[in-house]
Structure 1
Amino acid sequence: MGDLRYDPEVDAAYLTVGGPIADGAVAQTLPIALPADARGELFLDLDADGRLLGIEILGASLILRPEAIG
């Protein structure tokens, strides 16, 4: 489905959906509201047609299982 990249220095992960994302392809980034007790942040990157390109995860070690970022 996609490729998950994790950067431990900033504790952020990025999941591409459907392959590599071309430069300039992201037209909009939407924050996702999480429950008040949730940790971390999620953002959806969309193309000009509103199709999902990727998901940015800040505080990834708090949201993802350890084996996902291992």
Structure 2
Amino acid sequence: MAELEVTYDEAADAAYVYFTDPQDRVPSARMYACDPVDVDGVINLDFDEQGRLIGIEILAAGSKLPESLLRSAQHPDTESA
């Protein structure tokens, strides 16, 4: 099984889990927003043109995801500096 890529933007406190290989990335054709009041956060599901799930965005990720996952995630806001 391929490893999942996870990015985390600390300033926005948003994480993204990719279900596609970097060389196969396609733009999202449709986004389904989940606003689970019970967990006090927002999760967005991204789908491609064929209706396949290509990624998940997690807002308020610092309180929703394990700290170890966020530490090991790519941090695009600091990697270009």
Alignment TM-score > 0.5, same fold: yes
**CA deviation profile, 1:38-66 (whole Å, cap 9, x unmatched):** 12210000001110110001100011011
Identity value in percent = 34
The TM-score, its normalising length taken from structure 1, stands at 0.84
Q: Which residue of 2 aligns with 1:11?
A: 13
1:25-64 → structure 2 map (5 Å cutoff): 25-34=27-36, 36-64=37-65
Distance in 1 (CA, whole Å) between partners of 2:45 and 2:38 is 20
Q: TM-score, normalised by structure 2?
A: 0.74
Tell me the CA shift for residue 32 of structure 1: 1.9
Residue in structure 2 matched with residue 69 of structure 1 by the alignment: 70
Separation in 2, partners of 1:45, 1:39: 20
Number of equivalenced pairs: 67
- Cα RMSD (Å): 1.3
- Which sections of structure 2, spanning at least 5 residues, go unmatched? 72-81
SS at match of 1:50: coil
Structure 1 unaligned blocks of 5 or more: none
Per the alignment, in what secondary structure is the counterpart of residue 37 of structure 1? helix
Greater fraction strand: 1
